[in-house]
Each structure stands twice: as C-alpha cells, then as structure tokens.
Amino acid sequence: MALCRATDSGSAGFQPANMGGAASSRATTGSANIPPAQLDRAPREAARVVMIGVDGLGARYIPWEEMPNLRALRDEGTCVVARCHRPTASAINWKSVFSGLPPEIHGYNKWNSTESSIEPPPSALASDGALPDLVAEIRRQRPNAHTALLYSWGGLGFCLATNAASVARHYPGGSHIGDALAAYAGRDSSVFDEGMRQLAKKPLFMLLYQGQVDSTGHATGWGSPEYTNACKNVDANIGRFVDALRAFHLWDDTAIVFVADHGGLDKGHGGKEDIRVFEVPFLVSGGAARGMSLREPAMLMDAAPTILALLGLDIPAQMRGRAAVDP
C-alpha cells in the first residue's frame, strides 16, 4: 500500500511507504512522520462510516504540516493517491464516488450535471431501473438505519439519492464558483456543526461535504496562500468532529473515509491534462479501520464499494468499482 506523506521539507506531496499503527490522540504539528510498519490483520466491520468529501483538494496540494488533524487520520490509518475520472469536474466525479460507475456509464458529463446525458447500458441498472447508488443501497439493506447527508454545494444533491437518506441537508448561500470565500467557509463549518449533532443518533452512514477549497482554487489558484487557508479551515472542522466522535465514545467502531473529486492547475481543472488535476487523496481511518490497508491503483468509483465493504454490506453487481480494502 502507499502512504500519503508530506515531503521532508513539509511541503505538499506524496511519497510511497507502508504504514499503520494504533490509534492515538490527535496529532500536533511535530508528529507527521511515523516509522513504516507492515500490517496484515483483516479489517473488521465498522458500526458506521463517516465520509468526508472535500471538493478540489488535489493530492499534490495538501499542506500536511498545516493540517495536523488530517495528518493524524493519515498516520493512524491508510492513505493512497487515487485517480479521478475524465472529464475532471465536480458532478462527474462525485457521481462516480456515489454510484461506483465511471462517467462513460453513469452519463454525467459537466461540472454541474443533474442527470445522465446518455442512456446507461441495461447491465448497469438495478431491478428498479435506476443506476446503483451508495445511499440507496444502504437503505435497501439496512432500512431502519439512520443516515445523514450534509453538504454546502447544492449540485451534490443531484449526484446521490438524497431521498433515501434519513436527513439530507444543503447549506446554501451562493454559487459554487466565485462564491464569497468567507461565506463558503461558514457553510462548511455549519455542515460539521450539524454532523456533530447527528452523532447523537448514531448514524450508520454520514456524509460531510466541504466546498470552500475548490471555490478558493477557482478564485485565487490551486496552491495559493488562500487555498492553503481554506485547507486549514477544513482541517479545523475535522479536528472538532474527531473530538466529538471521541466524546460520544464512537471513535473505536467508526471508519472515516476521506476523498476529494479532483485537483487543479492555476484557477481551473476541467479538461486539463496534468497529473496535478487527476491525483486525489483516498484515506481510510478511525478506530474501526485500525490495521486496514488500501489496494492500489484506486479510482474514485471504488469509494462506494469500499464503504459498503466497511459496513459489511453487499456490493451490487452493477457497480464497476471495487472495494479497495481487503475483504
């Protein structure tokens, strides 16, 4: 497996390594490098999965030294560099995340697609005639489980089955691109505030989506100081949430899945043929993920099957992605 690790200088970057280790308290800025260790314990079923999705967080732009809470999740879990799908835009790749399908099959072809632009092949459709969907599949197999979808970009609601969730809440306040950055940061903070409240209901699955990193990249450029500040804002939200998981005594049986939909270059990403656009982090951590490893290569369409596998649920045959964790 590969570890998403900062370079020796502390700048953003990824270097291969094997790693693992027992969970510990949240890291400080001096605890980034943990000695490699080979892990071979089979993963256990998680009582819940919390998915943190960060729009526009390119793997080569993660300021690990400025994100101690994400770094702690990385060091306590397993992290690889995944590839997003073409075209490298938001709705296209989030649809792949939740459907387990590549764009050629699910048919989303724009950053703000709301429906398929082509007729999907019959083999990709479930018995009800719909494309596979992570949230709908959780509802089908665990109909009484509590699930929550919390997001700050309205377009995300067209990428997954919000009607299958117990709670689906969009925190609005402007357009996805060119939005007031401070307002976006506030909405992202509200997403985590509500996520902490939802923990009292012990959800089986919860999505926490953050949009400010992508919005800042479009406004000031990928890798800009403002972009780094947006990453730091997200990291602070992660830290508050991890503290809440521990306070509710839910850390030990929770798995956290952290993904992004694409990277960027200058002030854009769609249609750009550059590795900085295609590489994204794919991380699994939390007490229930201790000792797990992620297989490579990984694609974003592997996210939904991976989450189902972590929950001990069946993966529908229509999904083309694979579970990236060991069975």
Find the distance separating the first CA and the last CA of the chain, reported in whole Å: 15
| 0.85 exceeded by pTM | yes
More confident of the two residues 177 and 311 = 311
24: left (phi over 0), alpha (psi -120 to 50) or beta: beta
Per-residue model confidence (pLDDT) at position 147 = 98
Does pLDDT of 306 surpass 50? yes
Per-residue model confidence (pLDDT) at position 173 = 62
Report the mean per-residue pLDDT for the chain. Answer: 86
Q: What's the CA angle centered on 53, arms 281 and 298, to 5 degrees?
A: 35
Q: What percent of the chain has pLDDT over 70?
A: 83
Q: What is the C-alpha to C-alpha distance for residues 45 and 26, in angstroms, rounded to an integer?
A: 23
Other CB atoms within 10 Å distance of the CB of residue 228: 18
Q: Give the pLDDT band of residue 43 (cuts 50, 70, 90).
A: very low
Average pLDDT over residues 194-201: 98
Given a contact cutoff of 8 angstroms between Cβ atoms, the answer to whether 289 and 310 are in contact is yes
More confident of the two residues 34 and 58 = 58
Per-residue model confidence (pLDDT) at position 252 = 97
Per-residue model confidence (pLDDT) at position 268 = 85
Given a contact cutoff of 8 angstroms between Cβ atoms, the answer to whether 279 and 12 are in contact is no
Per-residue model confidence (pLDDT) at position 4 = 65
Write the CB contacts of 262 (distance below 8 Å, at least 6 apart in sequence): 56, 58, 84, 88, 89, 90, 93, 269, 277, 278, 280
Q: Could you give all domains of the chain from N- to C-terminal order, each with its CATH number? A: 48-310 (3.40.720.10)
Q: Give the pLDDT band of residue 127 (cuts 50, 70, 90).
A: confident
What sign has the CA pseudo-torsion 277, 94, 295, 31? positive
Per-residue model confidence (pLDDT) at position 87 = 87
Q: Tell me the per-residue pLDDT of 262-274, one tens digit each, with 9 for 90 and over.
A: 999 999 886 667 8
